[in-house]
């Protein structure tokens, strides 16, 4: 595994962690809360965002307008069964999700969930580093690169690891601030 490859994979891990953070709800309405919701549409699981226009008309409401009105009940059922924790209501043409204010206990739970996602991201980055280090050591052992080159690459790899770990920590701090802000 080359350094550029490791860097690319680490960047993807940071982006994946960011997407995981987006699914955690804060006190405000955010359409990305519904990113993981799948609707059983004509027998196949379909992402909600491909079946409907999702918007946030105000800070406490998510509005879901299906492209096909017949899928309204399926969408409502999928949201109810998902782990979003919101109760949908429809008026025959659109579904509304009202975002209630978070309790302090719920905020603490969400901060813990965000910390868990961040730790999973950091572990993934360390695993990428471990794989790259193994590759570098094998190259050195097979005398494909010198000991000095090996040491340089290991130092660069550690700097990359630190850089991406700091990025995840910054994302976590930002998300914690979002969750705890009333």
- Which residues are bridge partners to 90 per DSSP? 95
pLDDT-wise least confident of 80-84, 121-125, 164-168, 170-174: 80-84
**Average pLDDT over all residues of the chain:** 87
- Which pLDDT does position 182 carry in this prediction? 65
Rounded to whole angstroms, the Cα distance separating 89 from 97 reads 7
Q: Is the pLDDT at 159 greater than 90, yes or no?
A: yes
Cβ atoms of residues 121 and 165 within 8 Å: no
Walk me through the domains of the chain, giving residue ranges and CATH numbers.
3-22+103-180 (1.10.132.20), 31-98 (3.30.1360.40)
Rounded to whole angstroms, the Cα distance separating 63 from 96 reads 5
How does pLDDT run across 36-84, given as a tens digit for each residue? Answer: 888 888 888 888 888 888 888 887 888 888 888 888 888 888 888 887 7
- Which pLDDT does position 44 carry in this prediction? 87
Exposure string of 65-94, with b = 16+ CB inside 10 Å and e = fewer, is: ebeeeebbebbbebbeebebebebeeeeeb
What's the average model confidence in pLDDT over 167-174? Answer: 94
- Which pLDDT does position 8 carry in this prediction? 92
Alpha helix (H) ranges present in 84-146?
Answer: 104-141
Q: Is the pLDDT at 117 greater than 90, yes or no?
A: yes
- Which pLDDT does position 1 carry in this prediction? 58
């Amino acid at each position: 595994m080359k350094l550029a490859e490791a860097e690319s994979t680490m960047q993807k891990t940071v982006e994946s962690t960011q997407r995981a953070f987006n699914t955690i709800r804060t006190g405000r309405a955010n359409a990305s809360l519904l990113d993981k919701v799948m609707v059983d549409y004509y027998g196949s699981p379909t992402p909600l965002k491909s079946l409907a226009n999702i918007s946030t008309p105000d800070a406490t409401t998510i509005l879901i307008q299906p492209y096909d009105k017949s899928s309204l009940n399926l969408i409502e059922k999928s949201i109810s069964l998902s782990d979003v924790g919101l109760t949908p209501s429809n008026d025959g043409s659109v579904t509304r999700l009202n975002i209630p204010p978070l309790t302090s206990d719920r905020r603490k739970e969400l901060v813990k969930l965000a910390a868990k996602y961040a730790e999973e991201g950091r572990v993934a980055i360390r695993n990428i580093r471990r794989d790259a280090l193994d590759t570098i050591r094998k190259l050195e052992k097979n005398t494909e690169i010198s000991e000095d080159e090996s040491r340089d690459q290991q130092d660069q790899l550690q700097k990359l690891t630190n850089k991406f770990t700091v990025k995840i920590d910054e994302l976590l701090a930002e998300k914690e601030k979002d969750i705890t802000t009333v």
